[in-house]
Structure 1
């Protein structure tokens, strides 16, 4: 049975780790992010992958630097056949080139489209109707290695990044088990990523990317809100404070006023004017308040 070192950090990676363990593969160790303080109380928080590993008596490695000689020696001593990477950071060659069967990565897009740190968000922001997962062998340039397998997933018109995350998490776990079994048996044929002049990219998202530009078409604003929900969340400014918007609906194709103008009946409706139509907010969070539905928000606010 193939001996694996698994590298990952968030919940997205846990589904794959669990699927590999349940398929009977030997998980020699996990490599995950160092513990760090989080939240208001700055309590030390362990990664989701570490929590799973500890609960299942799997060895945990948490190097601060992936080129640390002590970490490299400890990794080599495990004598893994294969390294598996899901939602982790960039690896130095000394790590990805170590195991005899190579290092594979699971990526949350149909490569070569949406290479980068935030493929799930960008697919929805761009209004895609389908996405998927891809397994590939790591090499020097990020997300460019030879493809082993891929699987498509349809995106519903109202799906958020959170919805697509969960779809791809499950599809990815299944695809990863299929991939490792194929590598174990030698029954696969890797394919170079196709060259394309129309590649869409998925760079890391920063706070300034989350601010809504109401001068854009309503459809684009709607997709931005979906693509940033539940995290990092699209926002606008209301009464000089930040208003995060988790969910919204396309309202009338109507231009009542200048983009960014808001309208409310004070009870159940809060709408914003985009370039060519109205966006009706349904699930939001005002600065200093909890997340709530629009009706509850309007009952507690005097706008």
Structure 2
């Protein structure tokens, strides 16, 4: 057996749920997963008790050693070097890998990124792709360098976006895509069958981190843009507006074409409320509210919301 055919010693670095499927695929492969690196436990829930990351939970369930350094300083790098990894696989880890770490494994460090690079470098590629109305997304597996998702790409796996794609559904589909391809990609890299191609300068875009303040709906925007915002921000931070002074979370909505309704009104005005649900005027077109939620209540359909006394002529959003 040649060295390229031998099982690799792999260190996996990741933190959120998105990183779990690829971890499981590598753990089930012939390669040796010698350790998992993940973010330190963070306070969560009402009691603000420290909670392990999804990746830590998955690793412990498989008896894989877990390391949680606050930073990859000299001490942490010494521990990592002692693991003698051939390769480090990174998926949404949350810490920047300094040059000494990038150079430590024999085959370097590779990253599973949730976009078709160079489109949507950065923290929130899944949501920004939906928000922008992209027809496709996918994952890129790249050789890491010191830049922000700037390394040369080893492989791309595209995925068409569904018309009703949400941040949650695309998250799950891309995580599954990473699981499906990471082992084959690692095998091909070890055998020298992959060539890293530099990212083109054209088409670079940045997916800035989601901010809860972005959840507020601006009814002056076109209906199709608001629909994309609603889908992109489900399940977090969830698009919202105000109704009768209360926060109204919008979990699902649909932009209607002009032929769907002849009703019109000023931005934010409810133009119809009844058995077919609630229709709201926007800066261009109408938005049908399909699933909404009031504080302390369960999410309900637009028709059920209409039955709670919603009246045509009311306006959604903060008072002018």
- Shared fold, TM over 0.5: yes
Determine if contact 2:122/2:149 at 8 Å carries over to the other structure: yes
Do the aligned residues in 1 keep the contact of 2:263 with 2:271 (CA within 8 Å)? no
Native 8 Å contact 2:38 2:53 kept in 1: yes
Q: Which residue of structure 1 aligns with residue 80 of structure 2?
A: 75
Match of 2:282 among 274, 278, 288: 274
Q: Over aligned residue pairs, what C-alpha RMSD do you find?
A: 1.7
Unaligned runs of 5+ in 1: none
Structure-2 change in CA distance of 1:301 and 1:101 (3 Å): farther
Query: Does residue 235 of the first structure (1) align with residue 240 of the second (2)?
Result: yes
Taking structure 1 as the reference length, the TM-score comes to 0.93
Q: Distance in 2 between matches of 1:65 and 1:148?
A: 27
SS in 1 for 2:146: coil
Contact 2:97 2:146 in 1 (8 A): no
Structure 1 residues 239-278: aligned runs within 5 Å: 239-253=244-258, 254=262, 256-265=264-273, 269-278=277-286
- Alpha-carbon distance in 2 for matches of 1:120, 1:168: 9
Give the C-alpha shift of residue 250 in structure 1. 2.0
Asked if structure 1 preserves the Cα contact closer than 8 Å seen for 2:89 and 2:111, the reply is yes
Of the candidates 265, 281, 289, which is equivalent to residue 297 of structure 2?
A: 289
Which is greater in Rg? 2
* Higher mean C-alpha displacement, 280-289 vs 114-123: 280-289
CA apart distance, 1:267: 5.2
- The alpha carbon displacement at 1:163 in A equals 1.2
Cα distance change of structure 1 residues 302 and 192 upon mapping to structure 2, 3 Å threshold? closer
May I ask how many residue pairs the two structures share in their alignment?
301
Q: Is the counterpart of residue 91 in structure 1 residue 97 in structure 2?
A: yes
1:112, 1:199 within 8 Å by CA — same for their partners in 2?
A: yes
What's the secondary structure of 1:53's corresponding residue? Answer: helix
Runs of 4+ in structure 1 over 6 Å off: none
Deviation at 1:243, TM superposition (A): 1.4
- The worse-fitting range, judged by mean Cα deviation, of 200-209 and 284-293 is 284-293
| 2:318 corresponds to | none
CA contact (8 A) 2:273 2:279 kept: no
Q: Does 1:115 align with 2:121?
A: yes
Question: How far is 1:262 from its partner?
Answer: 2.1
Shift of 1:252: 5.0
1:296 deviates by: 3.9
**What is the aligned partner in structure 1 of residue 61 from structure 2?**
55
Q: How far does the alpha carbon of each residue in 1:101-153 deviate from its partner, in whole angstroms, 9 at most, with x for none?
A: 10000100100111110111011101111111100111111101011001110
Q: Give the gaps of 5 or more residues in structure 2.
A: 1-6, 312-320
